[in-house]
């Protein structure tokens, strides 16, 4: 995740050089760490991380956890248990949910 780490470093150094930016970009590390975790657990980028990983079993486990979480979210959406709106038209709902 060097791209995310590089972005964090650039923002941190800019905060120190540009007056007022420290108020705007006060909490940089927390969202960046969240993004790194999300990339590890997301199945597609997790597979990309598997290529250079020395802990392949751990990365596969993270991908499986991410896949399970995504499936549970998908299933909740299909069953109408989400707080965001899913189209009521059957064709639009099928397109919206891909496999619904």
pTM: 0.58
User: 18 pLDDT band (50/70/90 cuts)?
Assistant: confident
How far is 23 from 25, CA to CA, in rounded Å?
6
Structure confidence by residue, pLDDT tens digits, 31-79: 888 888 888 788 777 777 778 788 889 888 988 998 999 899 888 888 8
> For residue 46, which of 98, 81, 54, 38 has the smallest C-alpha distance?
38
């Amino acid at each position: 995740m060097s791209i995310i780490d590089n972005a964090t470093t650039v923002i941190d150094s800019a905060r120190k050089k540009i007056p007022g930016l420290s108020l705007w970009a006060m909490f940089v590390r927390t969202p960046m760490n969240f993004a790194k975790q999300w990339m590890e657990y997301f199945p597609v980028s997790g597979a990309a991380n598997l290529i250079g990983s020395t802990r392949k079993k751990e990365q596969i486990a993270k991908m499986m956890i991410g896949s399970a979480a995504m499936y549970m979210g998908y299933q909740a959406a299909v069953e109408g248990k989400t707080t965001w709106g899913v189209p009521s038209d059957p064709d639009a709902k099928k397109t919206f949910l891909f496999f619904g």
